Amino acid sequence: MLTELLPNIRIAFIEMLGTINHMEFKSLEHIKSEFTLDGETLSELRTELRNKLKEYHPDKIGEENFNKETQKTFHLINEAIEYLDDNREESLVPVSQVTELINIV
């Protein structure tokens, strides 16, 4: 029975992802202006974003209030956090430079 439902669940999930607008963040300043953040370091910005993420989490605001707009904001905040994580100073190579390094090699 569950195996019969999986294809339908997968299709619904893919359709849901297609409705979410993705934003490609280009810089820390872009993130700061998008979410009106005050932090100066990656750690401070990440903390502020995590706090904002909690404000938009469906468990916090309730499923009935988790509409398309809050869902979009929730996912944008997650993308911003991923950008910060991908560009941490302790990384050996920033993710944005991996393709360039592969081309060089």
Cβ atoms 73, 34 nearer than 8 A: no
Token output for 31: 């993130």
Per-residue confidence (pLDDT) for residue 102, from 0 to 100: 78
Write down how long the chain is. Answer: 105
Q: Which CA distances in Å does 1 have to 4, 8, 10, 15, 83?
A: 5, 12, 15, 22, 40
- The structure's pTM equals 0.63
Q: What is the pLDDT along the chain (105 residues), one digit of tens a residue?
A: 555 655 555 555 545 554 455 568 888 899 999 999 999 888 899 999 999 999 988 888 888 888 888 888 999 999 999 988 887 765 555 666 667 777 777
Per-residue confidence (pLDDT) for residue 79, from 0 to 100: 93
Per-residue confidence (pLDDT) for residue 41, from 0 to 100: 86
Cβ atoms 56, 91 nearer than 8 A: no
